[in-house]
Amino acid sequence: MATSSNPPASATFSARLAAAIKQRRTPACIGLDPRRESLPPALHAATASDPKALAAVFTRFCCDVIDVVAPLVPIVKPQLACFEAIGPDGMTALAEVIAHAHAKNLLVLADGKRGDIGSTAEAYADGWLAGPWAADALTVNPYLGLDSIEPFVKVATDRGAGIFILVKTSNPGSKDFQDLKTDGRTIYEHVAAGVEQLAARTAAGGTYGAVGAVVGATWPRQLDELRAAMPHTWILVPGFGKQGGRAADVRGAFDASGLGAIVVSARDVIFAHARPEMNAGLADDQWQTAVDRACRDMIERLAADTPAAQLK
């Protein structure tokens, strides 16, 4: 819940994120990735025979998850593709989920990996960060070059929002392009250097800027290296839990005070009813209790094995 220690709405994204992490005493971020085949049986997703019905189930599921995690974590990350896949009704569901998260005093990171040039990039930035979606942050694809990122940086800094640029992604195939070398450095190192310049430029006298990086939990050595290479950059760390990332693997993403990183878990938490150790003793309609258990377990593991312990 909001407290008097929260920064004003006009504060930078970095300030709002740091305050929320300190308030909840954890860098945990819960991904909202609704998938019909994985939803709790109690929601009867199998009977949702049309997009409107399925969108209603997605809305209920995500809002119920938000109700559980809102007192525990600072931020949630809706995966836009999961909503886009069911068409216009899915996008209406996404809008309702974002609004519900904001009503519960959560920051919202829209995971859409957007990227384009010129006026199209401006439209993406306006829509997601300043327009009807009003997300607090957005993931951005840098493949088109640094000039394609500038419209996102401008809107983010004008609105007090943030962006997270793909640097070293968690999937095994990231090495196909991101690990290629040119001028003695890997592609992801070149991207990281550009990201750090933008982060430092938008830091407004603080430690971290409005521009962050995405670095997967599945690459612990690279996390160590990239934390050193990007001292002004928040690092969004996906791949924790189901994709194989452990708390000890993400240690390098943090600074000594326990800030500088957001660690994401989606399926391990939101579908915790499918994990026997989290669902033990629960009936089908108690699936939210399994979510609560899994979220608390994630928070405890991060506190035990990373500098996030300094937030206590």
Residues 117 and 141 sit within 8 Å (Cβ to Cβ): no
Q: What count of other Cβ atoms lies within 10 Å of the Cβ of residue 276? A: 8
Across 162-187, b (16+ Cβ under 10 Å) vs e yields bbbbbbbbbeeebeeebeeeeeeebb
Q: Give the start-end residues of each E strand in the chain.
A: 28-32, 75-78, 107-114, 137-140, 162-168, 181-182, 185-186, 211-215, 235-237, 261-265
Q: Single out the residue of 171, 189, 130 nearest to residue 154, CA to CA.
A: 130
3-class DSSP state of 265: strand
In the block, tokens 């019905």 appear at 53
Cα separation, 45 vs 39, in Å, equals 7
By the 10 Å C-beta count (0-12 exposed, 13-18 middle, 19+ buried), 104 is classed as middle
Contact 76, 106 (CB under 8 A): yes
| 113 labelled catalytic | yes
Tell me the C-alpha to C-alpha distance, in Å, between residue 167 and each of 51, 62, 141, 181, 217: 34, 28, 9, 14, 12
Tokens, residue 10: 């006009």
Tokens, residue 168? 């070293």
**Number of Cα atoms under 13 Å in the Cβ half of residue 30:** 30
Q: Which of 77, 113, 181, 312 is catalytic?
A: 113
Q: Report, as residue numbers or ranges, the catalytic residues.
A: 113
